[in-house]
Amino acid sequence: MSYASNPAIANFVEYLQIPSVQPNINYDACVSFLKKQASSLGLEFVVHEIVPKKPIVILTWRGSEPARPSILLNSHMDVVPVFEKSWSYPPFSAHIDKDGKIFARGSQDMKCVGIQYLEAVRKLKAAGVQLKRTLHITFVPDEEIGGHDGMMKFVHTPEFKALNVGFGLDEGIASPDEEFILFYGERSIWQIHVHCPGTPGHGSLILPNTAGEKLRYIIDKFMDLREQQKRILESDPKLTTGDVTTINMTQIFGGVQSNVVPEKLSVVFDMRLAITVDHVQFEDMIKQWCKEAGEGVTYEFEQRNDKVESTKLDASNPYWLAFKAAADEMNIKLDCRIFPAATDSRYVRKVGIPALGFSPMNYTPVLLHDHDEFLKADIFLKGIDIYVKLITAVANL
């Protein structure tokens, strides 16, 4: 089957061919593309720049009862860097092979979802459907570098508050089997630098109070906790990475040359705190480790996310009930999880709005940020039909 002539695939391919790759992105081509889509769909089109050259694009379809809280359909325009030599096809060519695989950076993460939202709206409008609630389809910048100049700032603006959002959808990840993975919460990112000062001197001496001794103690404490969490994960097949606290040592700094005992060594850990972790107690534990390691050991945060309440998957959340009913009607099996990494959903949840992470990609290997990222055309097209039902369900609630 030739997919290239399918209008939805053509739009997807055109969007994928825009190299909105980190860092230092020029988003102009994305904005122009989305303005053209808004025109073809008869949607309102607005661009906000809270930070210069970091556009937040909003396409709006007014509902028949616009006073009701609206539905936010969010995706991000940016994609991660590529190592082009490791790709079978140029990563911004959106090459479609004989099996219908569309190869491109962003095919899974997450330009697919942004286009699926738009194509679902196109189908609904073509069928003469009028939804009760207003849809705001947002395309935001810089999610791949933390969203600090995108959704993180946007949710605190008058422009966001004016959207009157009641419920949000954002990205999930692919699933290699029949089930679709749905995310209702995220762990908290803590990236910490621990600094160990000590007595400097000649490398031939056994000096007291050295930076190396303190660094060893700190590394042992963090890595012992990592091993404990690893054992918990491996002991229960029902657990996923999102259910435990992950700790990884990512950088070590210090020293001047091989025969000089340094006056300071520093180590960096990337941690993702499980939703069950008490943040105050966890930091108190780190403070105690630093005290035990020796004189002068300090720490600072590169990134420290506050604890954010997960979205409720029960009768207290009517949007979830509507979403789940539509999924059940389509015989979609949902695997509900805590997201192992981080998405812009955390900023939406932080301002009290329930949000779910969902990318309708089953029978698909997880290739986000990987070489040869692809999405099969038939899975992409099926995802549009899934969104038609899901969007209708939550917007008519």
Tell the residue number behind the tokens 């937040």, with chain if given. 56
Distance, in Å, from the CA atom of 88 to the CA atom of 98, rounded to the nearest integer, reads: 14
Distance, in Å, from the CA atom of 273 to the CA atom of 276, rounded to the nearest integer, reads: 8
Strands (E), the chain: 44-51, 54-61, 70-76, 95-96, 101-103, 135-140, 165-170, 180-186, 188-197, 201-202, 246-254, 260-261, 264-273, 298-304, 334-339, 355-358, 374-376
* Lookup: tokens for 84: 């082009």
Angle between helices 318-329 and 377-395 in degrees, nearest 10: 140
Q: How many residues does the structure list for the chain?
A: 397
Distance, in Å, from the CA atom of 101 to the CA atom of 50, rounded to the nearest integer, reads: 37
Q: How far is CA 138 from CA 151, 270, 289, in A?
A: 10, 29, 43
Distance, in Å, from the CA atom of 63 to the CA atom of 56, rounded to the nearest integer, reads: 21
Give 300's strand partners.
193
The three-class DSSP label of residue 363 is coil
Question: Are the CB atoms for 70 and 166 separated by under 8 Å?
Answer: yes
Distance, in Å, from the CA atom of 350 to the CA atom of 250, rounded to the nearest integer, reads: 28
Active-site annotation, residues: 78, 143
